[in-house]
Amino acid sequence: MNDSNPMPDPIYEFEVEWGDCDPADIVYYPNYYRWFDNAAHRLFAQAGYSLSSVRAQHRSLGFPLVNAKAQFRAPATVGDRLTIRSRVLAIGRKSITVEHRVMRGETLLVEGEEVRIMGVRSDDGKLTAAVIPASFRRHFGFDAA
Task: Identify the CA nearest to 100 among candidates 39, 49, 143.
Answer: 39
Residue 22 is among the residues annotated as catalytic for this protein: yes
Q: What does the DSSP 8-state code read for residue 20?
A: G
Beta strands in the chain (DSSP E): 12-15, 65-72, 81-91, 96-104, 107-116, 118-121, 127-130
- Are 1 and 62 a contacting pair, CB within 8 Å? no
Residues 28, 16: Cα–Cα separation, whole Å: 11
Polymer length of the chain: 145
Exactly one of 3, 9, 20, 22 is catalytic; name it: 22
Q: What does the DSSP 8-state code read for residue 131?
A: P
Residues 42, 139: Cα–Cα separation, whole Å: 14
- Active-site residues, by number, are 22
